[in-house]
Chain A
């Protein structure tokens, strides 16, 4: 009998850096600890991260797809595993399985305007998109990033946002739910930025990631601008134990978020989106 590779066995990766982003979010940079490596990833995919003896969690990849050997994950410390992860030091080894799931439609976006809308930590799975847009800038029309965070202190990837904002070929709008300190920028939900954003609704691709309620209102607002539903993509989140369609936890109607998602064209899930407790 030919041996079947066991998709449940993690590959060891060594932590190179642990970078604090905000009070409760941090970024891990990892490289393979042995000759074994996971396959290259596409923007929007995720990995399962295992901490010895603690557990395993799905985390989106927030790094640059053109340098897949350097694996980057940004997450919030909200559960047992992510809290243990926050305490890890460079040199520690964790287990990686992946990459899993569908990806953002960067191919479909070619030649079109691109609107990236992120809420909170939802910016992490979209950062690989932004890296790609910047790297191959000439392939796309207008590029717009709309980012909303709870407070100015919760803003992720500040230095990169600043760099992108300074570019003349990119529009970056940031808003906060609650202004604190000496914040002089926008205040309000991210959807309020949509009508002001300069893009062609009839030839654009919108990629939206954040809390479901934020994604829902973003979709409504994008449609108000005339963006067809087929041009809108969202990324979903559900409980996951295996990431390979076996554990059943991530089911969303007929879809397994782990393999049919996490990125969906909105019309694929529209019929389920506003139903309670699906």
Chain B
């Protein structure tokens, strides 16, 4: 582990650019912190923090000049790996036949700056879906193989965070090339950096640094220890899968549906939600057709449509599907929870529905 000064960040960015990486990181846009192309450390949300609660997200100026003094915004890294809109292929008419032209557009090499532990876990979960099953998504794979991850450990969890409950944070455990802990106090402002891969190690050697002292490591350890205890939310996961399976007909689903707008926000902000639909389009001449894949949501009525109607016509059944998928059936499908405790679904729900609250209610009032 080494210590780099804030100027070291510029050296890191430059080194990544030199290796041909496009830098993607947090920046303030439209009063929210989103992930976008960045050029230098000045583009980061220096001195900003985000206040989050159920249905609440506000940026506030910090008293200090931390680079990573916020948690997570409405976007996740999913949008760079599992694209929101992707052309799967094109087809060219040829008399009564047609020819398929695969989409093999070159994929950029991307360096993700500021990936939180919950987000690393979310990427690992999507890896299981798109890379480790019977089929592989070549589009996801080509992007995934070309990223460099700079993780940031969370020392100040947000109001809707519950990664400690999900065992997915606040400290980055694996899946990164470099992991940074921002150490900030009256005396100093430095970054404790550790490499998580050979690529990370090589890069780290190129940056101006000094070896970390035992005191540096202790300070980071303590900050993360405390962070684990300051989560805004908490979710009891013990026996949760069976609890939800046993309560598929709990009257509480109807109560949630009285508030739920079926707007799909929770699924769009979720870093693990992977559902998609496809659209088939043709140009005006009818000679060229395209198949486009787009993010979809189990909250729409089209989602479960089969001839004659939608299977999940009611809002209660859609919320039940979403939540039991996240917290129960995901385990059976992929051997892990579908929730990483990032809290986005709570923050970005326009009516403030809180997955941890709803799960707690069912636990405390089971029908079986």
A and B from one assembly?
yes
Binding site for B on A (CB under 8 A): 1, 3-10, 12, 14, 33, 50, 52-56, 76, 78-79, 89, 91-93, 95, 237-239, 241-242, 244-249, 251, 253-254, 256, 259, 271-272, 275-278
Give chain A's interface secondary structure class: loop
Known: A1-B142, A10-B100, A241-B278. A246 touches B311 (CB 8 A): no
- Does any Cβ of A come within 8 Å of B3's Cβ? no
Residue from the list A14, A91, A253, A277 in contact with B313, Cβ < 8 A: A277
Give chain B's interface secondary structure class: mixed
Besides A4-B138, A52-B289, A249-B275, 12 other CB < 8 A contacts? A9-B89, A53-B280, A95-B98, A239-B305, A239-B306, A241-B276, A242-B276, A245-B134, A247-B276, A247-B277, A248-B275, A248-B276
| CB-defined contacts of A3 to chain B, threshold 8 Å | 138
What number of residue pairs across chains A and B have CB atoms under 8 A from each other?
A: 127
Interface contact A6-B138, CB-CB below 8 Å? yes
Bound CA span A5–B135, Å: 9
Interface contact B274-A248, CB-CB below 8 Å? yes
Known: A1-B145, A254-B332, A275-B248. A246 touches B97 (CB 8 A): no
Interface contact A8-B89, CB-CB below 8 Å? yes
| CB-defined contacts of B145 to chain A, threshold 8 Å | 1
Interface contact A253-B329, CB-CB below 8 Å? yes
Smallest beta-carbon distance B139→chain A, Å: 8
Residue from the list A9, A91, A95, A271 in contact with B102, Cβ < 8 A: A9
Nearest-CB residue, chain B, relative to A78: B307
Bound CA span A278–B145, Å: 36
Q: Pick the most buried of B134, B138, B293, B316: most chain A CB atoms within 10 A of its CB.
A: B138
- Listed from nearest, the 4 A-B pairs whose CB atoms lie closest are A248-B275, A277-B317, A254-B332, A93-B97
- Does any Cβ of A come within 8 Å of B235's Cβ? no
| CB-defined contacts of A7 to chain B, threshold 8 Å | 135-136
Nearest-CB residue, chain B, relative to A93: B97
| CB-defined contacts of B307 to chain A, threshold 8 Å | 76, 78-79
Bound CA span A253–B135, Å: 21
Smallest beta-carbon distance A139→chain B, Å: 30
Residue from the list A6, A12, A248, A276 in contact with B98, Cβ < 8 A: A12
Residue from the list B134, B248, B321 in contact with A251, Cβ < 8 A: B321
